[in-house]
């Protein structure tokens, strides 16, 4: 599986994603600078976590205007899988590749902790190695992870099986609508989620619950 990780100014999880991808696929991903206008031929594009452009405007808003995002959109429309993690999820909503917005956490505090999640949808290329209802733990680290969309959009996401991860019942860290932690686009080839699966791919880092996500993609795309 060939992959690329987009690097924005102030990204701080691009290397984490690259390490996880290389360990699982055996191949180093392409590291693509935000100012580039083309992407290599890859099977997976990762928009990593971090604080692109220092979050000086609205999280993900400036990154969404980067040259490379035109190419990311074209690739996604052609069916290439795109995974947006944390700030990457914010970029995906800012570019309307995913519906909804990510607002300040309900408690107005940055949250950084291991977070229990429920796998809601296992029928996707990203979650095929999980079971629906399975409980996993991924770290979260964000100040603007409060997912919001109108009721019609939320109903559609849930009705179409596009809500992939929810925060475990009673453990919503940011006030997200309906406990949503991760969603798919309509074509189901773009996933955005606030928790960090790339940080739990090695027992030395505290867990391996995220490994199945990348292994599922590898089985699908290799």
Show which residues are catalytic: 86, 196, 198
Provide CB contacts within 8 A for 60, sequence distance 6+: 52, 87, 88, 89, 90, 91, 92, 93, 94, 102
The pairs formed by 18-21 with CB atoms below 8 angstroms and a separation of 24 or more are 19/198, 20/197, 20/198, 20/201, 20/202, 20/210, 20/211, 20/214, 21/46, 21/198, 21/214
| Residues whose CB falls within 8 Å of the CB of residue 87, separated by 6 or more in sequence, listed in order | 8, 11, 13, 47, 48, 49, 50, 51, 52, 59, 60, 63, 142
Contact in structure between 192 and 88 (CB atoms under 8 Å): yes
CB atoms within 10 A of CB 222: 11
């Amino acid at each position: 599986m060939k992959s690329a990780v987009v690097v924005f100014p102030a990204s701080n999880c691009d290397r984490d994603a690259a390490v996880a991808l290389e360990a699982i696929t055996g191949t180093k991903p392409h590291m693509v600078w935000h100012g580039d206008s083309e992407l290599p031929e890859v099977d997976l594009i990762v928009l990593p976590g971090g604080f692109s452009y220092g979050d000086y405007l609205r999280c993900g808003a400036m990154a969404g205007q980067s040259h490379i995002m035109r190419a990311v959109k074209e690739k996604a429309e052609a069916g290439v899988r795109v995974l947006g993690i944390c700030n990457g999820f914010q970029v995906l909503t800012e570019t309307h590749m995913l519906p909804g917005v990510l607002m300040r956490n309900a408690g107005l505090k940055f949250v950084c902790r291991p977070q229990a999640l429920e796998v809601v949808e296992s029928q996707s290329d990203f979650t095929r190695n999980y079971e629906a209802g399975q409980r996993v733990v991924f770290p979260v680290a964000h100040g603007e992870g409060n997912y919001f969309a109108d009721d019609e959009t939320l109903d559609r996401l849930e009705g179409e099986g596009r809500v992939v991860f929810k925060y475990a019942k009673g453990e919503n860290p940011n006030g997200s609508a309906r406990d949503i932690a991760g969603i798919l686009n309509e074509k189901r080839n773009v996933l955005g989620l606030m928790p960090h699966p790339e940080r739990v791919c090695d027992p030395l880092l505290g867990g391996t619950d995220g490994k199945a996500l990348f292994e599922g993609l590898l089985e699908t795309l290799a």
